[in-house]
Amino acid sequence: MTVILRTIYIAVCCILLVIFTIFTLPWRFFVYILARIWKPELQDFATGISRIFSGTVQFGNLLPLNTTTVLTVEGYLDLENFRGLFHKRVLQKRNKNGGLVFGRFYEIITFFMGYPFWTKEKNFNLANHIETYDYRSEGIDCFDENRLKEYLSDLKKKHWDKQSSYWKITLIHNYNGKAQTLIIMTWQHSLGDGFSMKNVLECMFLGDKGHQNSDHKNNIYESDSSIISLSQIFLRLTICWEALKSVLLFPYESARFKEEVARTEVALWEINTNAGEDEYHFNFTKPFPVDSIKSVRAKFSVGFQTVLNSALTAGLEKALKKCKQPITTGKILIDSSKPRLPHPEGLTNHFFFGNLCVPLTATSPQDRLLQTERSYQAQRTSNIPLGFHYALQTASLLPGNLPFVCGSFLHQFVHMVFTSFPYFGKIDLEGCAVSDLFTVFAGPHPSSHLTALATGSPNQVKFGLSLRKCVSSLPSEFLEILRLCIEEEMERFLSLGDC
């Protein structure tokens, strides 16, 4: 009975959201006309997930939804040469129509009559976005891993300048006292998702050989022929049917999922409500070879992410037990997003939100792998991500804070955020090899205080970990304990592939 009531509640909320949005569309069109007349510099509306992530806090600052990718390059990178390379390969890269592929790097979001618009940054200066960090001027003799973690934590506390595009690249030389250069790239999530930034890195490292999306048709609606074949018509109808089915089944499947995980919605740690939620501890694991992960995947017929997720949850269980934390649930709820494919070129937020309920405790590594794989399979066939996507797209058309108010009924409690970006093979920058790569993320989810993100290079994967400092029931060194436990469990899982 509870599932039926939840289904009715979600369905009614979705219907009211659509009706309310339709009634506001004339006003939205009127605002657009006024913007064309009075503010011609305003280009187009910020919509979708970018709209959701462009919200401001009470003091007018952008939400702290920042992603940071750290690359270790063997050799010395000159600042001016790097700026010139980035300008040529990324900022000036154009598509087949002559438009800038990554034009969002020049833009900011500004509000007009309650609606967010993309507009050009005034007096754009590349020197403000790409710079070096002279740690010696602060009395630091050696910039090592511990300094890097502190630097990342301080970086997340800085607010974005609303008049400047929301990205920054910092070069740090002589990392670990060696002839190495760190490239630290940070961006606000309204600018683009991780797959967009992977395309940026491909262009930066591979030049004209990378990011060939602009030279290939990645849309099923494109055709070299003016005649639409029966197979194309069938494919379009199939996509329309899948979208309609997702919308119709979304309320029921969402209600059923909420009912199934209701007993799991128990906090794993206590929070200091007086502490800020935009301060983080950061850490990262050692790299793990991709070939070994693929061996485990092939042996147990599970997904690549399943192996990573299993090692992560096993490490979390061990770390909580080491810190003598009571584990009140055998399951853990994870927000695990997935890309919408094919991913378009340029800077976009083109992904689905998805929820997983995976084992926090398990009788054996094999059992954990199989249970986690079943969760991923359920997510792949679920209509919740697509239905949630359409609801967010609809809510993003509303002005002011209404997208957040009207979308509150979609909220799902999760313990943590876990996702992964595709890893790189061997890459180099002007002859200097990239020997390491990892990414950390400051997540937007109010209940998720722990975030793990997996990516890497060359042909290796690392976990980037972040934990909000407002977590009061865990020791300050918990993230270091978690890192060690994940490494131990990952080695344990990889050994299964060698058996």
CA dist., res. 453 & res. 284, Å (int)? 9
* Between residues 484 and 404, the one the model is more confident about: 484
Evaluated on CA atoms 52, 54, 57, 58, the torsion sign reads negative
Write the CA distances from 497 to 120, 273, 292, 371, integer angstroms. Answer: 51, 44, 7, 18
For the segment 158-165, the average pLDDT, to the nearest whole number, is 86
Amino acid found at 58: Q
- Considering the entire predicted model, what is its pTM? 0.91
Residue spans of the domains in the chain: they are 37-215, 230-498
| Sign of the alpha-carbon torsion through 226, 227, 231, 233 | positive
pLDDT (tens digit per residue) in 213-238: 434 433 333 344 445 677 778 778 88
Phi and psi dihedrals of 348, rounded to 5?
A: -145, 165
Length, in residues, of the chain: 499
Determine contact, residues 114/399, Cβ cutoff 8 Å: yes
Which whole number is the average pLDDT over 302-323? Answer: 97
Q: Which residues of 445-457 are buried (b: 16+ CB within 10 A; e: fewer)?
A: beebbbbbbbbbb
Backbone angles phi, psi at 38, to 5 degrees: -90, -30
The encoded tokens of residue 230 equal 């029966």
User: Which CATH architecture is the domain 37-215 placed in?
Assistant: 2-Layer Sandwich (3.30)
**In terms of Cα–Cα distance, which of 175, 103, 424, 162 is closest to 290?**
424
Give the separation between CA 63 and CA 300, rounded to whole angstroms: 41
How many other C-beta atoms lie within 10 A of the C-beta of residue 384?
25
Q: Does 307 score more than 60 pLDDT? A: yes
Q: Residue 406 has what pLDDT?
A: 79
Q: Quick one: pLDDT band at residue 106, thresholds 50, 70, 90?
A: very high
pLDDT above 80 (res 191): yes
Residue appearing with tokens 């990889």: 494
pLDDT of 27 > 50? The answer is yes
Helix (H) or strand (E) holding 181: strand 180-188
Helix (H, G, I), strand (E, B), or coil: what is residue 87? helix
Q: How far is the C-alpha of 173 from the C-alpha of 82, rounded, in Å?
A: 13
- Report residue 499's pLDDT band, with 50, 70 and 90 as the boundaries: low
Residue 391, both tokens: 């609801």
How far apart, in whole angstroms, are the C-alpha atoms of residue 75 and residue 372? 41
Percent of the chain, pLDDT > 70?
93
At residue 58, does pLDDT exceed 70? no
Kindly give, in sequence order, each residue whose CB lies less than 8 Å from that of residue 199, ignoring residues fewer than 6 positions away. 210, 211, 213, 343, 345, 346
Examine the pLDDT at 169 and tell me if it is beyond 70.
yes
Q: Which residues pair with 428 in a beta bridge?
A: 433
Give, as one character, the DSSP assignment of residue 89. I
The CB-side HSE value for 420 (13 A sphere, CA atoms) comes to 19
What residue type is 382 in one-letter code?
S
Specify the 3-state DSSP secondary structure of 327: coil
Listed in sequence order, the residues at least 6 apart from 20 whose beta carbon sits closer than 8 Å to its beta carbon are 398, 406
Unique residue bearing structure tokens 């890893």: 423
State the pLDDT at residue 226.
46
Give the fold, CATH level 3, of 230-498.
Answer: Chloramphenicol Acetyltransferase (3.30.559)
Q: What is the CA radius of gyration of the chain?
A: 23
Given a cut of 90, is residue 436 above it in pLDDT?
A: yes
Backbone angles phi, psi at 120, to 5 degrees: -70, 140
CA distance 139 to 494: 42
